[in-house]
Amino acid sequence: MSIEEAISLLKAGEVIGLPTETVYGMAGDITQTSALERIFSVKERPFFDPLIVHIDTIEKARALSQNWTPLHESLAKLWPGPLTIITDKTDAINPLITSGLAQVALRIPRHPKALAVLAHFKGLAAPSANKFGKTSPTTAQHVRDEFQSEVFVLEGGACEVGIESTVVSVKDPSTIEIYRPGFFSAKDIKAHLQALGFEVNVVYAESPVAPGQLKHHYMPAIPVLVSVGSDLLHLIAHSEQELAKPLRAVTLLPLGHDAKMAARIFYQNLRELSKGHDAIAIILAPHHFEEEWAGLLNRLKKAASVWISQ
């Protein structure tokens, strides 16, 4: 599918698989209620889970926000990129997008094809292009595998980041809250703002405004077994008891020492290792709890069927 075909489908109220640097999104025009409804129905997504609005310019973000402050403007200097900024919405935002809440999540993705499409719209809602709660797609083929011919996909190669964006909100002039960790850590954001003259606290928090907040999310077709400190045999034995079934073909997924590389291939690994195995095992080491791993650890906790700590 070409960029022109993608634009045409979106203007006709269809949804498409849209490449970004994080994951592939299921995009629909924010000005068409039917397109938004189709996102929820095709993904089998509950209406209480908000959507992120993707735009291509900061001017569009300002137009969709009621409280765009100098701190928001400084955060937006990380755009295009894997950062989502929560802000008070204007009446131009359909309540379906925000699950009826007063705030909206905005992002400019860092992918040339996404930006070329977005230039033709006020904004596109684009949650990950997978069935709700399942593993996010990082290639066009992942989207095709999930939806067959139901959703056309704009080919954009493998995603550079591999996990969803960091979601932040300006709590007050001195505090930034991170509702979903991702590529950017609290340390990254604090350093970015300090360089621009802002002294702020950056803290991790939870909020219904951000997507992906449910306990179980990103789950592959087979169980993911996670252990902190115990060996593989103990993890398997414990998991067989907890899941009440034998696990004869368990494959080990090493995360390594490079957090960015591990995140880039995480969802790809979950999909590939789900074929021909009973479960995927991951043994966490102390360095996996350092801040640069926060985004991947967040996804892993939600993807895991079993999690044991010593």
Of 126, 125, 116, the residue nearest 156 (C-alpha)? 116
Q: Which residue has the higher pLDDT, 212 or 119?
A: 119
| The two structure tokens encoding residue 108 | 């400019």
Give the mean pLDDT of 273-302.
94
For helices 266-273 and 294-303, give the axis angle rounded to 10 degrees.
30
Q: What is the model's pLDDT at position 206?
A: 80
Query: Is the pLDDT score of 213 beyond 90?
Result: no
Q: For residue 246, name the pLDDT band (cuts at 50, 70, 90).
A: very high
Q: What is the model's pLDDT at position 268?
A: 95
Give the mean pLDDT of 103-115.
97
Q: What is the model's pLDDT at position 209?
A: 65
Q: What is the model's pLDDT at position 215?
A: 61
The gap between the terminal CA atoms of the chain, to the nearest Å, is 50
Q: What is the model's pLDDT at position 109?
A: 98
Give the mean pLDDT of 267-285.
95
Under a CB-based contact definition with an 8 Å cutoff, are residues 298 and 215 in contact?
no
110's CB contacts (< 8 A; 6+ apart) are 20, 21, 79, 80, 81, 82, 160
CATH number of the domain located at residue range(s) 3-204 in this protein: 3.90.870.10
Query: Is the pLDDT score of 293 beyond 80?
Result: yes
Q: What is the model's pLDDT at position 37?
A: 96
278's CB contacts (< 8 A; 6+ apart) are 222, 223, 246, 247, 248, 249, 250
Q: For residue 46, name the pLDDT band (cuts at 50, 70, 90).
A: confident
Q: For residue 32, name the pLDDT band (cuts at 50, 70, 90).
A: very high
Q: What is the model's pLDDT at position 310?
A: 65
Q: What is the model's pLDDT at position 205?
A: 87
**Total-model pTM:** 0.92
Query: Is the pLDDT score of 20 beyond 80?
Result: yes
Query: Is the pLDDT score of 210 beyond 80?
Result: no
Tell me the domain boundaries of the chain: 3-204, 224-309
Q: What is the model's pLDDT at position 212?
A: 61
Average pLDDT, the chain: 93
Q: Give the C-alpha separation, 27 to 179, whole Å.
A: 22
Of 182, 204, 215, the residue nearest 22 (C-alpha)? 182
Under a CB-based contact definition with an 8 Å cutoff, are residues 204 and 294 in contact?
yes
Q: What is the model's pLDDT at position 295?
A: 95
Query: Is the pLDDT score of 101 beyond 60?
Result: yes
Query: Is the pLDDT score of 198 beyond 90?
Result: yes
Phi, psi angles (nearest 5°) of residue 102? -85, -5
Give the mean pLDDT of 140-168.
95
Query: Is the pLDDT score of 49 beyond 60?
Result: yes
Q: For residue 216, name the pLDDT band (cuts at 50, 70, 90).
A: low
Q: For residue 214, name the pLDDT band (cuts at 50, 70, 90).
A: low
